[in-house]
Amino acid sequence: MNLVIHKYGGTSLGDPTKIARAAERIAAADESVVAVVSAMGRTTDTMLDLARNLTDTPHERELDLLLSTGEQAAAAALAMALHERGVPARSFSARDGGIITDGVHGCARIVNVDPVRIRECLQNGLVPVVTGFQGIAADSGELTTLDRGGSDTTAVALAAALRAEACEIFTDVEGVFTADPRHVADARKLDHLSYEDMAELAACGATVLAHSSVEYASTHRVPLHVRSSTTETAGTWVTCFRSAAPLDGERFTAVGVAHRTGQLGCRLDGVAPTALTAIAAALADPMAPVDMLDHQSADTACSLRFIVNATDRDQIDGVLAGLYAAKAFTGRHWSGPMARVSLVGRGFRTHHPQVRLLLDTLKTHGVTVRDVTVHARRISITCAEHDVLHAVTHLHRIFLGSGAHPRKGHRPAEPHAPASRPQRAEAKGLRNEGSLAGRDRNA
C-alpha cells in the first residue's frame, strides 16, 4: 500500500474554504493518506490568551486540555469535509491514534507510536485524520501537548511508525527559503536540504519546520516535503541527501540566514568552577531553551553568559534563584532585548576569512555586533532588535545573493525531483536506510 502523511498547518485550515481545499487535495491523491492537523488559524493563541486572562499561572494539566481542543475541532471539521466529498474518513484523538509521550505538560516528547486503530482505518478504506501537537503520557495516561510546532513532529512520528513513503508538510509558503521571503526580496526557495542543515536553520529561528520534527525525521529517515497548500508545485525536500562532492574541512558553504527576535542576554558572575556542571544541568530545560555564549575562567571563579527568549525570563530567574542560594554564583545581570542572526551552512571555523567578511559587512552597514559565536554549522551574532532585518538582508546578499558563488571546484547539491510516484519510491528507499536502528530507539 502506497501511503503518504499529509500535515496541514493552522494557516492551511484557517476557514471553511481552506478546509475544503485540503479535503479536495486528499480526495484527489493517488495514494492512501493519513492527515495530521494543527488547530485552525490562531486558535491556539486565542486559547493561550484566554488562560492568561484568567490566571498568571495556568495549571499545566488544564492548560494542555484547553489547548488540545483546537486540534480536535480541526480534525473533526476536515473529516466532515471529506465525507461531504464522498471520501470516508474518521477523526482520531491522540489517545485513539496511539501517540505516547514522556508526560511533560506543555513540552512533551513523543516516545512511542502504536497506531493500531489507524492501520485498521486504512485497511477499511477510510482516511484517518489525526490531531497533531498532543499525545498521551506513558505513565499517567494524561493528555499532554508538545512544544509549539508539535504537529509537524506528530506527522513525522506517524510516518515513521506506518512506514509511509513521505511526510508532506502543507503550509502557506512554497518551501524552505534561504531567508524569510517576507523580509528578504531575493530569498530563494531551496529544492533540497539535508536533515542537518534544516535542523540548524530551525534551531536558529526558521519557523517553517519544528526543530523536533527534523530531528525525528533524521533519526527515522523520513523524507519531508515542505510545500504550499494552495498550489501543486514541488516544494523543498528534506532528506539524508549526500552531496555529489563530499565536503572537506576547508570548504565554506552557506545555506541560509535565520533570525530570532525577543532575546535577552544574561551574565552570571563569580561562578564557582565546581558549579559549572550544576548550572548547565539546571538550565537544560526544554521548556525554556538556553543558548550558551561563552564563559571566561579565572583561578577561583568565572563568568558565564547565555541567551534566552524574553518570555522565559521569569522561569530562568526561578532556576537561578536556587543556584544563587546554593552559592553557585555571586551575581547576575540581564541585558536586552536583542536579536540573534545566524548564517547557517557548513565548514565554518573561528579564523576563517569569511567570518571577518561577515563582521566587516555588518560594520559597514551600521550594525553593531554585540557577540559572535562560531560553530561548525553556523555563525551567530547578536545585535539590537531594530538592526535585525538590516543584518539579515546584507548577510544574505553577500553570502547567498546572486553575486555569491561556491568556491571553485564545488558541485552544488542537485535539486530533488518533483513529488511524483517514482520519485516518492526513491525517497522511501532513503527513509528505509538505517530505519531499524531508529525504530529500536522508539520501541
How confident is the prediction for the chain on average, in pLDDT? 86
Which strand ranges, in their side-by-side order, compose the sheet holding 253-271?
290-297, 302-309, 253-271, 331-346, 378-383, 371-375
pLDDT bin (cut points 50, 70, 90) of residue 438 is very low
160 neighbors 220 (Cβ within 8 angstroms): yes
Predicted confidence (pLDDT) per residue in 348-367, tens digit: 877 778 889 999 999 999 99
Domains and CATH numbers, the chain: 3-241+416-442 (3.40.1160.10), 253-400 (3.30.2130.10)
Residue partners of 59: CB distance under 8 A and separation at least 6: none
pLDDT bin (cut points 50, 70, 90) of residue 422 is very low
79 neighbors 89 (Cβ within 8 angstroms): yes
Count other C-beta atoms under 10 Å from residue 1's C-beta: 11
Three-state SS for 12? helix
Could you report how far apart the first and last alpha carbons of the chain are, in Å? 23
Lowest-pLDDT range of 21-30, 140-149, 210-219, 410-419: 410-419
Question: Helices (DSSP H) in 365-434: which residue ranges?
Answer: 388-400, 421-432
Most confident of 7-11, 298-302, 409-413: 7-11
97 neighbors 117 (Cβ within 8 angstroms): yes
Predicted confidence (pLDDT) per residue in 53-78, tens digit: 999 899 999 999 999 999 999 999 99
By percentage, how much of the chain surpasses pLDDT 70? 86
Average pLDDT over residues 380-394: 95
Q: Cell numbers at residue 271, please?
A: 561562578
- Tell me how far CA of residue 411 lies from CA of 73, 179, 231, 369, in angstroms: 48, 22, 30, 33
Question: Cα separation of 156 and 96, whole Å?
Answer: 17
Q: Is the pLDDT of residue 388 over 60?
A: yes
Question: Cα separation of 53 and 50, whole Å?
Answer: 5
